Amino acid sequence: MTKKQLTGLIIVAGFIGLLLLIMFTYGSQPNYRSNSATSSSTATTVDEQATAEAWRQLDEWLANATTTTTTLPRPTATKLTQLTADASVWDQLAWCESSGRWDLNTGNGYGGGLQFAHGTSWSTWRAFGGLDYALHPWEASREQQIAIAERVLERSGWKAWPGCARKLGLL
């Protein structure tokens, strides 16, 4: 087993562990919303629906992870424009940075799907015109965040997202 395969396996195992923790934590809560007249075999709680949806997403993610590659071609001068025009690159980067949550506020000084630095006078979000769209990156739409990311990419290259760009083969 190669180091890359082992790393992928560890990431998948961690993701599964996190999902199981969430499902057992929230899936085992008592159902205070159910009507006593409703049969428990036919009643579906919000927690059960969330658990079922989490399993469905995990199955879908695992199916895609094992049948497709997440490694993108290394950008060259001629391919850079093509890559920046391809929104799926941004979606893959957002998946790595924030689990694809464009509205994520981590509270650690980074936010949005592409984890822009924000909140200070020197922040990436502010410096590249993000305030034209929203005060914080997570308040901007996916498309608006991508527009700012295009500016960052033009100026700094993929190194602006060092860890995830490396994982995706962009560096």
Q: pLDDT digit of tens for each residue in the chain (171 aa)?
A: 777 776 776 887 676 766 555 655 555 443 333 344 444 444 456 666 666 676 677 667 666 655 444 444 444 443 444 444 455 899 999 999 999 999 999 888 899 999 998 777 668 999 999 999 999 999 999 999 999 999 999 999 999 999 999 999 998
Residues 18, 24: Cα–Cα separation, whole Å: 10
Instruction: Enumerate residues 6+ apart whose C-beta is below 8 A from 151.
Output: 128, 129
pTM of the model: 0.51
pLDDT at 83: 46
pLDDT at 44: 52
The label of the residue with tokens 């025009």 reads 85
pLDDT at 21: 58
Class of domain 79-167: mainly alpha
Strand partners, 110: 117
Residues 101, 132: Cα–Cα separation, whole Å: 21
pLDDT at 107: 86
pLDDT at 9: 67
Q: Is 20 exposed, middle or buried (0-12, 13-18, 19+ CB in 10 A)?
A: middle
